[in-house]
Copies of this chain bind each other. A is one copy, B any other.
Amino acid sequence: MNIQEYMRKIGIQARSSAQILAKTKTGVKNKALEAIAQQLEQHHNRLLEANAKDLEAGKNLASALRDRLVLNDARIANMIEGLRQMIALPDPVGAITDLKYQPSGIQVGKMRVPLGVVGIIYESRPNVTADAAGLCLKSGNATILRGGSEAIHSNQAIAQCIQTGLESVGLPKSLIQVIETTDRAAVGELIRLSQYVDVIIPRGGKGLIERITQEARIPVIKHLDGICHTYIDEKADIDKAIAIAYNAKTQRYGTCNTMETLLIEQNIAAHVLETLVDKYKTAGVELRGCHNACHLNANIIPATAEDWDTEYLAPILSIRIVTGLDEAIEHIRLHSSQHTDAIITEDWSRAMRFLNEVDSSSVMVNTSTRFADGFEYGLGAEIGISTDKLHARGPVGLEGLTSQKYIVLGEGQIRQ
């Protein structure tokens, strides 16, 4: 197979079917989502068989990677449920906002439109194939999906369900294409198909995302890492602070919105740590702290400079005692990955300063960083959480997969 030609053909097909999808009404898109859900239901066993092949081939994968690769009854049910939830979400395409008369007499507003063709590059988890395809379909975008080679059989089986579903409602199957080769050169081609692909969304480890961002000749919506902070201010409600700090670390360890560093104001640190350290220890969380933190509690071992810049994704927490809000904000500026950072305080002015001055995709007051999530934010599903500043920042749902064009309505106006 000539990879360059193969990818070019995929690109041309995507661009051409994107034009059809841009004109497709909401009702038809919803029927397609339901048809795909039904296909996945009907071919439940075929999906398990394909997945078994991938698991067999991936016997030697690391256990975390292998876990993500598994399809089982619950995960298939989740994919199907996810597609049905997308049916219920409002269609962002065509929404007209801010239509206002201008002094010249023209009316100027904005209309939401699909981006066109979205390329998604992801690793291991086959459920991304259905989730991403559904979100792109609902937002009017043709999609090119490139999953990990370890999930190739699972992804192809899901792709077949998707394409049968699309065709059953009269839509071209080239709307959602899953790349059939595991040749890595296909990724290199995909991220340079600027004529046919409007945006690349990489999902996976930091290494993958950095490489794609470096090499892409197409805009990338990316999520690098989640080094999230919680700052417990002197004026915090201590009970709330302890509950939130415990939840932000322990509710799930492997997610990007999990707190990795806890900052505590010096005057309340002893009081907070007295209860909190026991709770963390019971949960099995390893605690690494600054000199002052270690001094306050014998269960905290000394942190190294590296700890403040580490996304653990594990039951490990770094703790630093700070002199107040200024030092907390400065620590966050230097070490946060600008994903999600929270302050716990009952002090109005400090809460407002934190909201205004911390430059992260989500900035929170008196709640757990674990809430940084498209579903919790009311976006429905999400295609990822962007740590970029341009276009989409934070959880990216249907709206982040669209753009707005200006519309101008006149009655014969000419410019003077």
Say how far A271's CB is from chain B's closest CB, in angstroms: 17
Residue ID in chain B nearest A213 by CB atoms: B217
Known: A23-B357, A251-B414, A357-B22. A407 touches B364 (CB 8 A): yes
Known: A333-B19, A415-B376. A406 touches B389 (CB 8 A): no
The interface-forming segment of A38-46, A106-114, A261-269 is A106-114
B414 in contact with A244 (CB, 8 Å): yes
Known: A364-B407, A390-B115. A377 touches B102 (CB 8 A): yes
Q: How many copies does the complex hold?
A: 2
A359 at the binding interface (Cβ < 8 Å): yes
A103 and B404 alpha carbons, distance in the complex (Å) = 29
**Which residue of the partner chain, among B19, B94, B405, contacts A393 with CB atoms under 8 Å?**
B405
| B residues near A377, Cβ cutoff 8 Å | 102, 108, 406, 408
B94 in contact with A356 (CB, 8 Å): yes
**Which secondary structure dominates chain A's binding surface?**
mixed
Would you give the 0/1 interface string for A17-32, flagging 1 where the beta carbon is closer than 8 Å to chain B? 0010011000000000
| B residues near A136, Cβ cutoff 8 Å | none
| B residues near A318, Cβ cutoff 8 Å | none
**Which residue of the partner chain, among B23, B219, B407, contacts A390 with CB atoms under 8 Å?**
B219
Known: A115-B389, A403-B390. A372 touches B412 (CB 8 A): no
A361 in contact with B251 (CB, 8 Å): no
A199 at the binding interface (Cβ < 8 Å): yes
A413 at the binding interface (Cβ < 8 Å): yes
- Which of A102, A111, A246, A390 has most B Cβ within 10 Å? A390
- Which of A221, A357, A393 has most B Cβ within 10 Å? A393
B361 in contact with A410 (CB, 8 Å): no
Say how far A327's CB is from chain B's closest CB, in angstroms: 15
- Which of A219, A368, A414 has most B Cβ within 10 Å? A414
A289 at the binding interface (Cβ < 8 Å): no
Would you give the 0/1 interface string for A394-416, flagging 1 where the beta carbon is closer than 8 Å to chain B? 11000000011111111111110
| B residues near A104, Cβ cutoff 8 Å | 371, 376
| B residues near A243, Cβ cutoff 8 Å | 412, 414
A247 and B104 alpha carbons, distance in the complex (Å) = 14
Residue ID in chain B nearest A411 by CB atoms: B366
**Which residue of the partner chain, among B240, B357, B393, contacts A412 with CB atoms under 8 Å?**
B240
Would you give the 0/1 interface string for A150-186, flagging 1 where the beta carbon is closer than 8 Å to chain B? 0000000000000000000000000000000000000
**Which residue of the partner chain, among B378, B406, B412, contacts A362 with CB atoms under 8 Å?**
B406
Nearest first, the 4 closest Cβ-Cβ pairs linking A and B are: A367-B410, A240-B412, A247-B414, A370-B415
